Structure 1
Amino acid sequence: MTGEFGLIDRFFKQRQTQRKDVHLGIGDDCAIVKVPEQIRLAISTDTMVSGTHFLPEVDPAWIAHKALVSNLSDLAAMGATPAWCTLALTLPETDTVWLKRFCDAFFELASYYNIQLIGGDTTRGPLSITLTVHGFVPETQALTRNGAKVGDWIYVTGTLGDSKAGLELILSQTSALDDVGRELEKRHYFATPRILAGQSLLKQASAAIDISDGLIADLQHILTGSGVGASIDVSRLPVSEVLLQYLGGDRVKAQQYALTSGEEYELCFTVSEENKGSLASALSHCDTPLACIGQIRPQGQWELHHEGSPLSWELTGYDHFQQEK
């Protein structure tokens, strides 16, 4: 069979070991699942569109990785443990070679994070991928954007700016990338969702968000939700050596990339003075680099500075609709 149900049977059904909390998965009108007692369900949906989030000719395995990671990162930002997902896949035509590459990579990553595909849809149209993920978080403990308090410290995981540089190289369509270019391209498509870090922050952080639209934009969501301001020391922004090589050693430019780079899928979070001392210990098993980049201030206060010297940079994050203008 080559129709919709044939594709489902061939590429999606029975690709994973069924979780015990999945009573009915792919193959019926609805999935039936069970949420444990004293647990809340965290749910997030993201869509990736050809030409906006990836180029049509990109390896479908890379697309699968990026699509799932972007959704898992949302769960990480809430401190949730991945459980289930649904996938709506729109294809311009039936391409079994493309589907095999996509599905092999998708299910390999899904199985690694113990997240089971329990349903979805396939249809014909412009290439796009919509994922909805579901995760478990202990009752009353979910991390949100609205818990930051004046005096809290602002942290980020990993390094920032690499994804923006990688995207620039991808869009330039340079046929022959050097080692630096290939590494940055890889970092754009192959981010690591900070699932363990998010879980470890449940009793440590006061607020959290994943960095998908750029640090300067995503931090603003925390500030707005919490009714606070912030002071950021750009000298503390974590930038990689490969980004500095790409920018010819220009550290100021690297810091600006770190503030505006989208699709990083690192975490930005706030921690009280009381919890600051135990943070490194709480995350010691995660092998996740941390950087303290600033502090929460009263509402209305916002500044970028370099070791105390004010900066007048006017920077924004990534906005899909503004990019279309």
Structure 2
Amino acid sequence: MFQFISPPLPHFILCGEDTYPIGGKHADRSGIGVFDLLLVTRGCLHIAEENVPLTIGPGSFALFRPDRAHRTTEPCREETHFYWAHFQTLGLWGEAESEEPAGGSGPEETYRAMDQFAIYLPRSGTLPSPEPAFAQLRQLSAMQEDSSAPSHWRRQLLFQELLLRLREETKLPPGSSYLTIADEAAAFLRRNYKAAFTYRKMSDALHFHANYISLCMKRVYGCTPLDYLTRYRVEQAKRLLIDTNEAVGRIAEESGFGSFPYFVRCFGRLAGMTPAAFRKQFRER
């Protein structure tokens, strides 16, 4: 399974379709520099990425990395039709099975923008109702004839809908539950950042033991829930300092800090300056 840290979202480049006769083979490729998505409508493709073989039948898809080789392991036994799409990302990405946060990002990278979120896409899967995905790829292909900026924008939006469909209609592999729990915990903390935090409250809301939630967040985000919440609160305070004329004490309360001295300490540790100095720096530019 792949993890993409967004923004930026993965961006669509090009798509098309192809039909192989009996005995036909997909081209062997190596390090093509873009993600290669294949979605089969009929027949079957037999392809391996490095040493991992994949059989892609009707209604199934496979996603290949931009930095590895993939090759045909067996010619088509019947006429095979499929759609393909190339895309790339300028953001962090990686394989989500590792113990470390995907893409090699540490806590500071994760918190550079607190609005960042993770997109998870399976390497392969079968869609229970593939026709809507086929239709989206046909529409993407037709839209490529229009090179205008609005058309390019619409293609990107449609491609995001396709990726979301692949994600929602494909079950994640066993062992990926820690990713879901970490994301749910992060979402809970963002929704409730103004309220007083307790591990018991979070545990009751997510129906998991607090220690397990903490382990999941450390595995994905490299931090504890409390650290994540503190940094998110500081980011909200930064926005209020820049965009409003509220008193610093009032901003501390609106950002979820129950104690003004604690707010100043946390802000100074994470921003490298006092809240007042931060406001002055950005409001007087």
- TM over 0.5, shorter chain: no
TM-score of the superposition, structure 1-length normalised? 0.24
Higher relative contact order (CA 8 A, sep 6+): 1
Bigger-Rg structure (1/2): 2
More helix by share: 2
